[in-house]
Amino acid sequence: MRKHIVITALFALTLTACGSSTTSDSDALVLSDTTMPLDQDAEIDTPATTVVAPTDAVINADGSVSIDVKVGIDDYDTLAGERVIKVALGSAVTITLTDGSEDQDYHLHVYDVGAEAKKGEPGVISLIVDQAGQFDLESHTTGKTLLVLVVG
């Protein structure tokens, strides 16, 4: 039981560190049968504010979707909020991210999938999108939003 609590606490701390956690009006995060105080200065992640209509993803011949992002060239932050891609619910999506300037740790919020990549090498995230909504893909290295994925 103690091991379960520690693992759950570490998972919650990891999510809080990247801002994936949500909070209620209480001052504590309840984990199984223990309570942990929240850091009042912790930044809570809110989805990126998009000012453009999403662009429909290009669908491959097999029905899957491939999205390529060149960090620092055609990502959401660099393009001032213009990298918003819409995909159909249930699609098989592969997102390839490449940063020529530094090692990266990528993370797609809510789905909690990610990839690490060395400088100049691609990081690949593959998943079936089974939740509708707007999801930010960010760099845990820089904290910047790289892509907003709209599923619906």
pLDDT of res. 46: 66
Q: What is the pLDDT of residue 135?
A: 96
The count of residues in the chain is 152
The predicted pLDDT at position 27 comes to 35
> 30-66, pLDDT tens digit by residue?
333 333 333 444 344 566 766 689 999 999 999 999 9
Give the Cα separation of 31 and 18 in Å (integer). 18
Q: Which of 29-33, 69-73, 116-120 has the lowest mean pLDDT?
A: 29-33
The pLDDT value given to residue 3: 41
Closest listed residue to residue 103, CA positions, set 79, 123, 83:
123
- Give the residue from 34, 25, 50 showing the smallest Cα distance to 133: 50
* All residues at 6 or more sequence positions from 141 whose CB lies less than 8 Å from its CB, including other chains: 102, 103, 104, 105
Give the long-range contacts of residues 110-115, CB within 8 A, separation 24 or more. 110/20, 110/135, 111/135, 112/15, 112/20, 114/140
Q: What is the mean pLDDT of the chain?
A: 78
Instruction: Catalogue all structural domains in the chain, each as residue range(s) with its CATH number.
Output: 2-37 (no CATH), 55-151 (2.60.40.420)
What HEC string does 3-37 produce? HHHHHHHHHHHHHHHHCCCCCCCCCEEEECCEEEE
Is residue 100 very low, low, confident or very high in pLDDT (cuts 50, 70, 90)?
very high
- pLDDT above 80: residue 23: no
Q: Looking at the predicted structure, is the pLDDT value of residue 129 above 70?
A: yes
Residue 121 has pLDDT above 80, yes or no: yes
Q: Give percent of the chain above pLDDT 90.
A: 66
Helix (H) or strand (E) holding 60: none
